[in-house]
Amino acid sequence: MVDFQLTKSQGQVKEFIHQFAESVVRPMSLQADREHHIPDDFLLRLAQMQLAFSGEVPVEVGGDGGGAGEAKDKRGKSQKNRFAMIGAEELSWGDASIILSLPGPGLGGPPVQFMGTPEQKERFFGVFKDRSQLHFGAYGLTEPGAGSDVSGISTSCRKEGREWILSGRKCFITNGGKADWVVIFATVDRAQGRAGHRAFVVEKGTPGFTVGKIEEKMGLRASETAELVLDEVRVPEDNLLGGEVHYLGKEGFMGAMKTFDSSRPMVGILAVGIARAAYEYARDFVRENYLLARAIPRYAQLATTLADMKRNIDAGRLMCWRAAWMADEGIGNAKEASMAKAYAARMAMKVCADAVQILGAHGLEQHQFVEKWYRDIKVYDIFEGTAQIQRIVIAKRILREPPTF
């Protein structure tokens, strides 16, 4: 069973990151949102603190394996996903853009870890051993015509001699413009569907590999989201993740899906962090402005709304923790990962909307926390697979599983 009691080390991680989020991250949050930028010296400080919650550098290639919280339980099982949940919620409570901008492999890390050969892991993760400069990885899957429908990617790849040639366009790529390398998914033949997928690591500066526009977004404005253009980009065959033998089945597509099993609970817990921030702000506003014991109907409604906000936040957190626990235990968690992401994102949107409603006109003031959180939260219902896609994933699995009680 999942243990709901934090261990001593988990509690220490939670307390440390919360204090950091409260004293350092939150005070710069609104300025970073206005300027659409997080200072490089601040990000470098985070890198040197070894804060990492996804895509961390594996221990076997010289990394610390889990950033702020790699640890094992009494059985020797890794708890890195559980630690990631705890730390990520606190940092997202401070500012959601920060965690997306952390130096490191980011979402590019899991496919290299899951699919890469030992030599590829050493080569591509090796750059992150240098903590004197900012280094980023990125994950290039989404295209203008293929977002949640991953099987529809059209970026093409063909082999000539000892090189692969890639052409296409990727969009909405987090840290894509500043990444040292990007994992690019392409297809040898769209008619083959999933079996035609291949995953490559394309390094910054490769001829024909350019950054298009940097998106102007409604929320998460301080996080970079880029368009990437591949125009007859030649990459060596050694950059095909796993080598050609890896793609005798549908391993390219499965590599993309495996990444989501790790990233979707993370998206969920980040949404929980934003929801908690909005709830606490609204709660404190009510405490300061209303005496809920008075017999006024509006006050009773405020109390009920706050109770619902708190209850739903706790439910979302527990769903994310379950998916993380399953990942640490080596239990397939695709259904639970999608459940956590789908529920937490929609829950957080409702909580942020309720916070705006409680604060009234104050909740709509530009460049204030609640207004910012209201803008930030919407994308959590979209990226890493929309809510509709999550429901398809969930339904497919519950229909083919044996009945449970």
Residues annotated as catalytic are 384
Helices first, then strands: H and E counts in the chain = 12, 7
24-29 contacts, C-beta under 8 A, 24 or more apart = 24/94, 25/91, 25/94, 25/95, 25/98, 26/94, 26/95, 28/95, 29/94, 29/95, 29/97, 29/369, 29/372
Region for 50 from its dihedrals, namely left if φ exceeds 0, alpha if ψ lies in -120 to 50, beta otherwise: left
In terms of C-beta density within 10 A (0-12 exposed, 13-18 middle, 19 or more buried), how is residue 372 classed? buried
CB of 143 within 8 A of CB of 170? yes
How far is residue 161's CA from residue 25's CA, in Å, rounded to a whole number? 50
Pair type for strands 137-140 and 181-187: parallel
The answer to whether residues 242 and 116 touch, using CB atoms and an 8 Å cutoff, is yes
Q: Which residues pair with 214 in a beta bridge?
A: 226
3-state secondary structure of 180: coil
- Cβ partners under 8 Å of residue 73, min gap 6: 7, 79
**Residue position matching structure tokens 């229909």:** 399
Q: Provide the CB-side half-sphere exposure for 369 (13 A, CA).
A: 21
